[in-house]
Structure 1
């Protein structure tokens, strides 16, 4: 990776150039959207210029979630000084001796940013480990993975050294599938199992793949309409052709992973306590499929539903964290 340095004044001048304003107008903590009035097209231009100027991967700036000059500078400084290979593990509050670890897995088309701010809602002696699939965030330079088994392999390698104390998995949508398959991998290989498994907004695997819905094969307009119906995807992504073109390959790759995964036939129930979570108004998955998880565990902890759609969890961080904490503690031996 490049070790080019970056100064905040250089970034200030770059952004001011895009906005055709004076550098002093771009203050360190001014919010890009609300105070500098940077819309999606301008943000795309800022991102492109920054990525070109500093040699960082395409889409890295957008995926970073930076909303101020200070945040953008900190992100670039960390990217440009990192000498080791990027890791799929993000640990917002690293602990040397955590009482427990909770691994969080994101949805299709998403990133670890789904779980931004979650750490503050969990016990201080717990370590949250956010798993990020390649092709986004700090892993922009890596190719996308569109096969479930290969992504499970990739994550398994990353988490193996961290299974030395009680741990749990929580996955949302595609992340629920990966969490389930990771647990099956650990069981098959005789490795430590999670204390608890939480699956969110994802139906229990059926005996055969559901051919009725294959988002990765949809035409662009159809796919964007389908994503709108599920909620969670910002309008500036779905309504702006330039932004959509940058992120569409990631969506299609992730949906291909889900659509082409072959469910196991008559799988052995997991000897792991399992809880299911969902939004009351989720149009993408029915209650029968959610309750079908009961057959895939020896210890079904029930279904909890929250007000909202497929991305209900974005508005229920605190109560959901409390439910997860209680579930993991009650499941501990």
Structure 2
């Protein structure tokens, strides 16, 4: 785990009994997830997924295909899985986490998928994302503003945009080329978290998630927009802690087998 380029983590948290693999939104900084560790306490270790071209992997070519990226992350998880884990992704990260869940969901230690701020994969990419991915310069920046998450200083400064937005543009292009493929329902439970004021994700867009799940997905609606967790990560970590607690109850230590129906 410590030597894998795919993961960013705090070594001080490595002894936790479970892991949360966190997948960032388009253009997002994986390292930002590490600040969520305090909200999880000793329940789990936060592990941020770091795609090629980001963070310490900045010299590598960026990924251009969602499926190939999912293959790479899944292989890295399989190679290091040694304890129960949950997959969490926000927006584009939720699409990627879903595709990874399709690949690793059969592992005994894969316990849950949490998809945040994301319509059902079968509905993606949305028309707005496809149109935004074609834009350049100021037009792209203004279109991205619909989703939120861009600091005002970036929106106002073209020099900052040239410095900070290439990864965002690359991710939008990758999402715009995403080709959903129907498949068997996921073998792990699914939880959806969304902001009630998110202009991009509505309840109708969540309904087809049910077709991706063996059981009806749980839904959590929280105050806020697309980036509802900005400034209050407990909107996510409280849900994660609840899922981990329920999993410990269903899978007690000591090798006891519990049949969950």
Give TM class, smaller chain.
Answer: 0.7 to 0.9
Deviation at 1:312, TM superposition (A): 0.5
**TM-score, reference length from structure 2:** 0.86
Between the aligned partners of 2:11 and 2:4, the Cα distance in structure 1 is 18
Task: Tell me if 1:139 matches 2:57.
Answer: yes
Kept after mapping to 2: 8 A contact 1:281/1:309: yes
**2:77 equivalent in structure 1:** 159
Kept after mapping to 2: 8 A contact 1:93/1:127: no
Between the aligned partners of 1:223 and 1:194, the Cα distance in structure 2 is 37
Of 296, 303, 312, which residue of structure 1 is paired with 2:219?
303
Kept after mapping to 2: 8 A contact 1:112/1:130: yes
Of 58, 82, 86, which residue of structure 2 is paired with 1:168?
86
Specify the structure having the higher radius of gyration (Cα).
1
**2:119 equivalent in structure 1:** 203
Deviation at 1:134, TM superposition (A): 2.1
Deviation at 1:186, TM superposition (A): 1.8
Deviation at 1:224, TM superposition (A): 0.9
Between the aligned partners of 1:98 and 1:85, the Cα distance in structure 2 is 18
Of 219, 233, 236, which residue of structure 2 is paired with 1:320?
236
Deviation track 1:201-231 (CA, whole Å, cap 9, x = no partner) reads 0111126754453122123222211222221
Alignment of 1:1-333 (within 5 A): 87-95=5-13, 97-187=15-105, 191-192=107-108, 194-206=110-122, 209-211=125-127, 213-214=129-130, 215-265=132-182, 267-331=183-247, 332-333=250-251
Count the aligned residue pairs.
Answer: 247
Deviation at 1:93, TM superposition (A): 4.4
Between the aligned partners of 1:183 and 1:96, the Cα distance in structure 2 is 22
Between the aligned partners of 2:128 and 2:26, the Cα distance in structure 1 is 18
Between the aligned partners of 1:208 and 1:238, the Cα distance in structure 2 is 26
Between the aligned partners of 2:171 and 2:70, the Cα distance in structure 1 is 13
Q: What's the secondary structure of 1:128's corresponding residue?
A: strand
Between the aligned partners of 2:197 and 2:120, the Cα distance in structure 1 is 18
Between the aligned partners of 1:125 and 1:308, the Cα distance in structure 2 is 26
- In structure 1, stretches of 5+ residues that fail to align are 1-83
Deviation at 1:115, TM superposition (A): 1.6
Deviation at 1:86, TM superposition (A): 7.3
Q: What's the secondary structure of 1:304's corresponding residue?
A: strand
The two structures, once aligned, show a CA RMSD in angstroms of 2.2
Deviation track 1:11-69 (CA, whole Å, cap 9, x = no partner) reads xxxxxxxxxxxxxxxxxxxxxxxxxxxxxxxxxxxxxxxxxxxxxxxxxxxxxxxxxxx
Between the aligned partners of 2:242 and 2:92, the Cα distance in structure 1 is 24
Deviation at 1:177, TM superposition (A): 0.6
Between the aligned partners of 2:128 and 2:108, the Cα distance in structure 1 is 36
